[in-house]
Structure 1
Amino acid sequence: MRTRSTALVVLSALLLAGCSDDQSSPTAGPDTVPSSSVPLPTKTTGQPTKTPSATPTSTPSCLDAKLQDLTLRQRAAQLIMTGISANGMTSAQRPIVQKQKPGGVLLLGAGGSLAHTRTATAAATKAATVEGIRPLVAADQEGGQIQRLKGAGFTRIPAATVQGTWTSDKLTAQATQWAGQLKQAGINTDLAPVADVVPVSLKKQNAPIGSLDREFGNTPAEIGPPVQAFVRGMMAGGVITSVKHFPGIGKVRGNTDFAADVLDNVTVRGDDDLQPFADGIEAGTEMLMVSTVTYTKIDPKNRAAFSSTVIQGMIRGDLGYDGVVITDDVGAAANVAKVPAGQRATRVIAAGGDIVINGAADLTAAMVNALVVKAQQDEAFAKQLDASVRRVLALKQKHGLVTC
């Protein structure tokens, strides 16, 4: 079982090894934090992430060199994942991706065959590549009703409620196969698996998860093993996973994609239902997705994606997770529609997040602009931005997406 590495270990390894195209590893796997918080349930221990300082050297590491090569605007863009059509960039999306160079693209809508998808992702990758840094290319490939890509060449994946009944070995083997298809299609990131716990009594009322059969089970003990099996299978196939939607959307009623002011009045810091997220981290997930729900018993003033209590306190602190934190959609989602687009991006980074999912491509420039302006005006924010870019580039380097 792979253990989590700290940001300092990652940087040290990079300083020793440098980087190249063939460094991917297919089998690798302003809120105040309450002082009286109850730690999250977790099988592992860790400390909040610390931004490593550059080690003095005559030859900068690949990571340092890339950071130096990028302008502030280019660095800011690395933190945005822009939504594009799964069938290929539209005439409106293409110039946005070409000009803004987002650090990631997310395939939205129903896609075509594997071969068609490969052509679409190749074009998007070329358009978004900047200074030898290629984009994360992501899809929601969970199974059941949430499977973006199901044309010829893609296996029809059963719903999580079915996957959860399989043995761990079977699910890992199947996930490895699904990952292979994604890789062939030019996709390096699967925004899955779902670690949310949906109580049996709320299944039909829980719009985002239960009503769509997206849950592996109904208790933390049932959900943890398949979350780990899915993560390990995708890792074996060389695909990045994103365990979601921290700290859980299994107890809400509204779907944040279509409803505003979605609240969770039940979940607390240290909740037993957070265990599947810890399990996913233990299995080696390289991303953790944070929801846009407001958790009134954790941070009543901020949506989770905008909350340093959730990201810095619970994810970085309680769980000791030093990987990439990505948001649920804050572009097209109705739950954030009242927040100015630029503020959605700056509030995520200020809270400690790393990648902002933006399902509305036309908002990309506004988000990048806002990050640039705030970094120019706020030195502390600029350091946070650079720390996030470093985490994103380290992940990309690991998967062969950085050329030095």
Structure 2
Amino acid sequence: MESKEQVRAFTKGIRDTANTSSLMPPFIAMNRERMQYRPNLMLPWTDPKLLSKQGLDAVSSLATRTAIEMRDLGFNLNLGVMVNTHSFYSYTNDVDRAARIGETITKRYAANRVFTGYQYFPGGADYTVPGMKLDASKASLMDDDGRVFAQLIDATRDEHPMIMVNAVKVPSIDANHPVSLSKPIITDWLRNELGFDGVVITDDIEVGAAVAGISIEDYAVRTINAGSDMVILCKHAKHIKAVHDALTQAVENGTISEARLDESVRRIMLMKFSNDR
């Protein structure tokens, strides 16, 4: 990312390619809170804990300005609002305040036609550390970061945020699988109990697969069957085709049912076409 003109041309090229190929409008995303500051491109994102201390008006103002800036550069998804209270990147260790900050950011972005995503369900620890195990019960998590997500699901349903899951384990709920491969966590808890019907997206499955000791292709298929709708690949372009082929084959041979595929397509389409973003 070298200049605004270069970035605008790059994102326009992505959209034009999708249009030419008769594809749906693409998500074009960045994690705005973690974006390295480039003075010629974008405003600096204030340190989260400092921003929290400045109050919700300051949060709203920064979110508004950065959303306008992102949209001008051709992005339509801020994939990362850190709503966990235990991370180095957290805004606060107060769960109710974390929910209010997440709601404020999401609504200001939505007002400027940019989607958001929440990191990382179900929280309760520093979930930026892949492969860790969280010794906590579901009840204790619902008194902690689980309450943040529950409040945000209710408060920002109309803004269609994503929720991100990653490769940590909560053995009290699923002793055998990380969150991103866990149907008891994604489908039974997040969707059925908390009522989240939006898009669930994984963190980088290259990392998840390495931690789990399985292939990236198998990881992708298993996370979709657990309830995820989209996967992230961050590093190696060769994995994009491999994962696409694996998912296509899984649908063809019935490992991923058409009904399961349709659920994810519906969620993604509803999100993409809401509010004409």
Q: TM-score, normalised by structure 2?
A: 0.89
Q: Does 1:255 align with 2:145?
A: no
Q: What SS is found at the alignment partner of 1:134?
A: coil
> For residues 7-64 of structure 1, what are the alpha-carbon distances to aligned partners after superposition, in whole Å with 9 as ceiling and x for unaligned?
xxxxxxxxxxxxxxxxxxxxxxxxxxxxxxxxxxxxxxxxxxxxxxxxxxxxxxxxxx
Across the two proteins, how many residue pairs are aligned to each other? 270
Where does 1:126-275 land on structure 2 (aligned, <5 Å)?
A: 126-129=16-19, 130-142=21-33, 146-148=34-36, 150-198=38-86, 209-210=87-88, 214-248=89-123, 250-251=125-126, 255-256=129-130, 261-266=131-136, 268-269=138-139, 271=141, 272-273=143-144, 274-275=146-147
Q: Contact 1:188–1:238 (CA<8 Å) still a contact in 2?
A: yes
- Give ranges in structure 2 of 5+ residues lacking alignment: none
**Please, which moves more after superposition, 338-347 or 264-273?**
264-273
Q: Contact 2:81–2:116 (CA<8 Å) still a contact in 1?
A: yes
Cα offset for 1:293? 0.7
Where does 1:271-282 land on structure 2 (aligned, <5 Å)?
A: 271=141, 272-273=143-144, 274-282=146-154
Equivalent residue letter for 1:275: R
Q: Does 1:306 align with 2:181?
A: yes
Structure number with higher relative contact order (C-alpha < 8 Å, ≥ 6 residues apart): 1
Residues 344/126 of structure 1: CA separation in 2 closer, same or farther (3 Å cut): farther
Residues 269/328 of structure 1: CA separation in 2 closer, same or farther (3 Å cut): farther
Q: Does 1:293 align with 2:168?
A: yes
Q: Contact 1:112–1:149 (CA<8 Å) still a contact in 2?
A: no
Cα offset for 1:269? 4.9
**Which residue number corresponds to residue 358 of structure 1?**
233
In the alignment, the residues of structure 2 paired with residue 358 and residue 119 of structure 1 have an alpha-carbon distance, to the nearest angstrom, of 23
Q: What SS is found at the alignment partner of 1:192?
A: strand
In the alignment, the residues of structure 2 paired with residue 132 and residue 370 of structure 1 have an alpha-carbon distance, to the nearest angstrom, of 20
**Which residue number corresponds to residue 274 of structure 2?**
398
Residues 376/220 of structure 1: CA separation in 2 closer, same or farther (3 Å cut): same
> For residues 315-372 of structure 1, what are the alpha-carbon distances to aligned partners after superposition, in whole Å with 9 as ceiling and x for unaligned?
1112101111111111355754622111121111101110111113221111111111
When you count helix as a share of all residues, which structure comes out higher?
2
In the alignment, the residues of structure 2 paired with residue 132 and residue 400 of structure 1 have an alpha-carbon distance, to the nearest angstrom, of 16
Q: What SS is found at the alignment partner of 2:163?
A: strand
Residues 270/311 of structure 1: CA separation in 2 closer, same or farther (3 Å cut): farther
Q: Contact 2:106–2:116 (CA<8 Å) still a contact in 1?
A: yes
**Which residue number corresponds to residue 252 of structure 2?**
376
- Give ranges in structure 1 of 5+ residues lacking alignment: 1-110, 199-208
In the alignment, the residues of structure 2 paired with residue 367 and residue 394 of structure 1 have an alpha-carbon distance, to the nearest angstrom, of 24
Q: What SS is found at the alignment partner of 1:388?
A: helix
Q: What SS is found at the alignment partner of 1:264?
A: coil
Q: Contact 1:295–1:304 (CA<8 Å) still a contact in 2?
A: yes
In the alignment, the residues of structure 1 paired with residue 99 and residue 197 of structure 2 have an alpha-carbon distance, to the nearest angstrom, of 20
Equivalent residue letter for 1:183: R
Q: Contact 1:174–1:233 (CA<8 Å) still a contact in 2?
A: no
Residues 120/392 of structure 1: CA separation in 2 closer, same or farther (3 Å cut): same
What is the identity percentage for the equivalent residue pairs of Structure 1 and Structure 2?
Answer: 25
> For residues 74-105 of structure 1, what are the alpha-carbon distances to aligned partners after superposition, in whole Å with 9 as ceiling and x for unaligned?
xxxxxxxxxxxxxxxxxxxxxxxxxxxxxxxx
Cα offset for 1:117? 1.6
In the alignment, the residues of structure 2 paired with residue 400 and residue 308 of structure 1 have an alpha-carbon distance, to the nearest angstrom, of 32
Q: What SS is found at the alignment partner of 1:294?
A: coil
In the alignment, the residues of structure 2 paired with residue 249 and residue 219 of structure 1 have an alpha-carbon distance, to the nearest angstrom, of 12
Cα offset for 1:160? 1.2
Cα offset for 1:157? 1.0
Residues 195/112 of structure 1: CA separation in 2 closer, same or farther (3 Å cut): same
Residues 151/128 of structure 1: CA separation in 2 closer, same or farther (3 Å cut): farther
Q: Contact 2:209–2:216 (CA<8 Å) still a contact in 1?
A: no
Equivalent residue letter for 1:218: N
**Which residue number corresponds to residue 283 of structure 1?**
155
1:317 aligns with one of 185, 189, 192: 192
In the alignment, the residues of structure 2 paired with residue 269 and residue 125 of structure 1 have an alpha-carbon distance, to the nearest angstrom, of 44
Q: TM-score, normalised by structure 1?
A: 0.62
Q: Provide the alpha-carbon RMSD of the alignment.
A: 2.2
